[in-house]
Structure 1
């Protein structure tokens, strides 16, 4: 099968699979709604049908189920695109958004809000502080790693490791300082969940995601040139430092917005770009949009499993992604070792 055919089949398959998962997920729950009713309700919203006769089912779909499904797709898409961007910027197959401290910083902001009991923005207080914490931490990592107007990849990664360690210590201190209810809420937030999804949250994430994806696509050609190496890329006219700065800011904005509502969801940004790259190849003009769809599909499936594996319980979604991502990460390490002939 030729590469154009594989790419077309991948996009078509991911698009159809994501729509199917979204519809199935919207119908599954303690109050089951047939798939035909889910489709009928969707068609009614775009003016192509009479809608549902049961107002309770209609309300369940549009006030509870669809906000969660759409937020899962958005967060998964953001993490997939951010992972592809990070791996392209760093030239490292093991890079993901957490490398630059965005998740740990968001956790610090959210934990501070929970322990202090702040509510100056109402229901948006914890997400807003999570967003601010993730963004500020990422910018701090990037600023601390710069020397003489430049930042090296190794220095950036090591700075991220150090800042992540400090953030983890701050979170532990906040948990120690808070009461039992605050500790439980912080732990649940760190495990990741979409149980509190609402339409206002969706509308908050969507603009930042759209801007981030558009900018990522605009950077795709320069990322392909950067894959040749920093020196060849500079000779071809790429401003490597500006490219990395732009990419890191885009990742910080998108991921901070996503995890501020979902909590920490690991490994999606790591495994999705690699799975897509095996089919499409390394070109970022295809890799970025394909990672968007694949990330949305993966988190949609994970959220469906989180809601349905146990009766009357909502499993933290971060547990499922870690169970899948951990073995994949280990396999990737072994594969990298075999190909390179060692760990260097």
Structure 2
């Protein structure tokens, strides 16, 4: 049989095989996202049932549904007490939702930063963004809002994150381009400096502020209210739209600057946009939940291992998995050492530190979607 005939018979199979692989990956992503959404709903119910006021999961679910869909008969037939309603709707539900939004935001910020510097170990803390947000927030706690012109903790945290981002971008710029290696080095150095500033503010403040500062730095969502969900929700929505629209550009940037430029991507401008969006997410989350480390390191890699490195699939899994991860962490923080509550940063460190060490091995980075 002529060679040309063999080639003509084999060539159509390659596009078909690629299309089949793409469909399998898409189905896998859909299944995983569905399971993660179901887990989030289940965690909301379980979180609503856990606490000093006795509420079983069924009652917690009815309370949430009753507020979302007014007119439900069980809200007025006496089967639920006012104390149960208040405990679930005003305290436990906002806490669970804030944990989910914070986890999703930090995970997405980590994913964007790993693309920015093309380094599997990058996250908001590595680039100093979280440290900048912490300096701004702790400054308000220590000196008071009035002394700083009426600036709130939220605004100060975002301003600190944005300032740290601008410093890293300025220090990392060389010959008009942002160098990923210089960004890592600048971020580590700046983060260390800002952490020292935070430590100085902590030891120089009044004794009554020390506990508040330390608890804030280690992370907590215990003070969550419905109004505190607005900022993180808006920031997360903006970042998700940004990542979805530019998912192909993110894929191109992961292959290297030369490949990205050949595909029509302005690598320097895209890196600047990624830093701003990651700073928006980090600053907003830190302002309401404090310093929570390792979420942005662990979750994006788990998402890549599950669905691959294509950001069209990685981003939704990262956001949902980040929410599930921190909601479970908060549930453990409330129950492991009752009646004492463990700060979230302590529990995430127990997971994140071993994962960080695993990623330092060459095989860990490759499995997470990064080359040698």
1:76 Cα offset (Å): 0.4
1:107 Cα offset (Å): 1.2
1:119 Cα offset (Å): 4.7
Cα distance between partner residues in 2 of 1:200 and 1:338? 39
Select the residue among 133, 136, 140 that pairs with 1:113: 140
1:339 Cα offset (Å): 6.1
Is 1:9 the counterpart of 2:36 in the alignment? no
1:33 Cα offset (Å): 1.0
Moved more, 297-306 or 157-166: 157-166
Is 1:19 the counterpart of 2:46 in the alignment? no
Give yes or no for contact 1:81–1:289 (8 Å, CA) kept in 2.
Answer: no
Is 1:172 the counterpart of 2:195 in the alignment? no
Taking structure 1 as the reference length, the TM-score comes to 0.93
> Residues 113-152 of structure 1 correspond to what in structure 2 (within 5 A)?
113-119=140-146, 125-152=152-179
Q: Please name the residue that 1:204 is paired with.
A: 231
Moved more, 72-81 or 33-42: 33-42
1:168 Cα offset (Å): 1.5
Give yes or no for contact 1:205–1:258 (8 Å, CA) kept in 2.
Answer: yes
- Give the unaligned 5+ runs of structure 2: 1-20
Q: Please name the residue that 2:355 is paired with.
A: 328
1:166 Cα offset (Å): 1.2
Q: Please name the residue that 1:102 is paired with.
A: 129
> Residues 1-344 of structure 1 correspond to what in structure 2 (within 5 A)?
2-47=24-69, 49-52=72-75, 53-119=80-146, 125-336=152-363
Cα distance between partner residues in 2 of 1:124 and 1:297? 32
1:122 Cα offset (Å): 12
1:338 Cα offset (Å): 9.1
Count of equivalent residues: 342
Moved more, 17-26 or 2-11: 2-11
Query: SS state of the match for residue 54, structure 2?
Result: coil
Instruction: Say what the alpha-carbon RMSD is for the aligned residues.
Output: 2.3
Give yes or no for contact 1:195–1:314 (8 Å, CA) kept in 2.
Answer: no
Larger radius of gyration: 2
Taking structure 2 as the reference length, the TM-score comes to 0.86
1:50 Cα offset (Å): 2.3
Give yes or no for contact 2:129–2:161 (8 Å, CA) kept in 1.
Answer: yes
Task: Give the direction of change, closer, same or farther, for the CA distance of 1:166–1:295 in structure 2 (3 Å limit).
Answer: same
Give yes or no for contact 2:100–2:327 (8 Å, CA) kept in 1.
Answer: yes
For residues 110-142 of structure 1, give each alpha carbon's deviation from its aligned partner in whole angstroms, at most 9, with x where no partner exists: 221122133579998223322221222112211
Cα distance between partner residues in 2 of 1:319 and 1:114? 21
